[in-house]
Amino acid sequence: MVETHGLTHVNLAVRDAERAFAFYQAVFGMEAYWREGRTIHARTPGRADVVTFDAAAPHPGEAAGVVHIGFRLLRPGDIDAAVAATERAGGTLLRRGEFAPGVPYAYVSDPDGYEVEIWYE
């Protein structure tokens, strides 16, 4: 076994890197830390995750077997604000509920059609 820091990044093929970044910035507060051509690398403030928005990659918006990516909330009460931010940023609520009492989730779609799980545990 090789030790790692865990999953560190996801690279999304998108139609428009600026539009995709603007969505994730509005919903999750992501900050761009490197831009190159039609690609933007962003991370959530204070976290080690990275999402790359790659407008030069083929097949934008096609999940190709990946069902969704997920963001875990710090507080369960933030689920309503997350859904509202998603819709204001051009995303769509797909479904929401609770895995168990006090454990809310929402599945949303970003502007390219990727499914994003927002949940608390």
Once rounded to an integer, what is the mean pLDDT over residues 93-109?
97
User: Residue 22, Cα to own-chain centre: how many angstroms?
Assistant: 11
How many domains, in total, are found in the chain?
1
> What does the pLDDT read at residue 19?
97
In-domain check, residue 73 = yes
> What does the pLDDT read at residue 51?
95
Question: Which CATH number belongs to the domain containing residue 16 in this structure?
Answer: 3.10.180.10
In-domain check, residue 84 = yes
| Cβ proximity of 104 and 95 under 8 Å | no
Burial of 31 (0-12, 13-18, 19+ CB in 10 A): middle
Mean pLDDT of the chain: 94
Phi-psi region of 67 (alpha: psi -120 to 50; beta: other; left: phi over 0): alpha
Q: Assess whether pLDDT exceeds 80 at residue 76.
A: yes
Residue numbers of the domain that contains 28: 9-119
Q: Assess whether pLDDT exceeds 80 at residue 4.
A: no
Which of the four pLDDT bands, split at 50, 70 and 90, describes residue 66? Answer: confident
In-domain check, residue 3 = no
Q: Assess whether pLDDT exceeds 80 at residue 5.
A: no
* pLDDT tens-digit map of 6-58: 888 999 999 999 999 999 999 999 999 999 999 999 999 999 899 999 999 99
